[in-house]
Amino acid sequence: MKILHITAAYKPAVIYGGPTMSVAMLCEELSKAGVAINVFTTTANGARELAVDTAVPINVDGALVTYFKRITKDHTHFSPALLKALWKHAKEFDAIHIHAWWNLVSVLSCAIALARKVPVVISPRGMLSTYSFNNKNIGAKGLIHKMMGGNLLNKSHIHTTSSHESEAVAKLVRPLSITALPNFVKLSKPGGFDHITPGGVLKLLFFSRIEEKKGLDILLNALKFIALPYHLTIAGDGDENYINYLKSLTNGIEDKITWAGFYDDDKFELLQQHHLLILPSHDENFGNVVIESLGVGTAVLISEAVGLADYVKENNFGWICQTNVKSVSDTINNIGANGLTTLNSIRQTAPAIVRNDFTGDALAQKYIRFYQQIIKV
């Protein structure tokens, strides 16, 4: 089986966060499982370009990756060289798997793949939800969807990373199929760090890109109603103006907050040094950091709009809140008063379970069976 993955950005472009790393993990795990994986991507790395050779295949941890120059430096990622190569080589693959939407790499690659009559899988990565559709560049999205995007999606197979995302997609399009399979998630080695014990100051952690969708403003406003000793660490970066706005919300509690900045592979020790990860997002198709946190035994408080909310609830790995100040503050107060035993239980049981569910060959085989099904159609 030979699968081509197309994504506007690929590692080492870590600036784009979890979705880019999720694509790389999927490609690497499928390669380990014996699938011939090729990747077409661009040199996108934020406003800059990756310092890599272009238009030549490079083995990147098992996947054969070709980086193409882009001629736009924004989120459109327009790359004529990539599209030309796709037209030439599309029929060499059993299926073409496109990641993300609302950029010219994804939309135009989908059009080319369908024109070349190759089965297409699209992983929207959270970009096909009502929230995404109605936030940022609404006019452009609507025009793209009406002129060609909706028709392309309806002729493709959709891969989502959670049932929550599947439901969101089904409200917008009617594709050939919708299949939910979780992300592969890179986890720390078992027993790599010292545990902290519940009690004393409740150590809270927000770990994500800092943008409006993530609900950090809700959390900061909720802190003013916390009745127990706490300290919040904020790990991540984002737009400087938005961060300054968030800091203006912390008047009177500045000494209880640490702005830690960007973390990369050193994140696991940080995760384990806290009692509770909090992610009150307005919309989140999956949420890699939720699994990364549980992988080191740190419980989570996430909103009902996070794709992994059902998983957390079913496994008793934390708490689910609504995206408002009262719900977040009430839940944190309750955890501090009554949840210390639960925090310790999660620390003991979660790592082994999430390792089984989000890593390894069993998950790779689910993806392989998914590809086999759409290739037969």
| pLDDT of res. 195 | 58
Residue 166: half-sphere exposure toward Cβ, Cα within 13 Å: 13
Q: Which strand (E) or helix (H) includes residue 196?
A: none
Name residues of the chain where pLDDT drops below 70. Answer: 136-137, 139-141, 190-199, 265, 377
In sequence order, the β-bridge partners of residue 234 are 206, 259
Tokens, residue 185: 């998630």
Q: What confidence score (pLDDT) does residue 199 get?
A: 62
Distance CA(118)–CA(297), nearest Å, equals 43
Instruction: Note the pLDDT tens digit of each residue in 137-184.
Output: 676 667 777 777 889 999 999 999 999 999 999 999 999 999 999 999
Q: Which residue from 39, 208, 8, 292 is spatially nearest to 127, judged by alpha carbons?
A: 8
Q: Are 128 and 146 a contacting pair, CB within 8 Å?
A: no
Assigned CATH class of 2-184+360-376: alpha beta
pLDDT of 139: 67
pLDDT value of residue 375: 95
Q: Does a cis peptide bond (omega within 30 degrees of 0) precede residue 190?
A: no
What is the CATH T-level fold of the domain 202-358, as seen in this structure? Rossmann fold (3.40.50)
Query: For position 123, what pLDDT does the model report?
Result: 97
CATH 3.40.50.2000 range(s) for the chain read: 2-184+360-376, 202-358
Chain centroid, CA 259 distance in Å: 22
CA distance 107 to 111: 6
CA distance 178 to 166: 7
Considering the entire predicted model, what is its pTM?
0.89
DSSP helix/strand/coil, 265 = coil
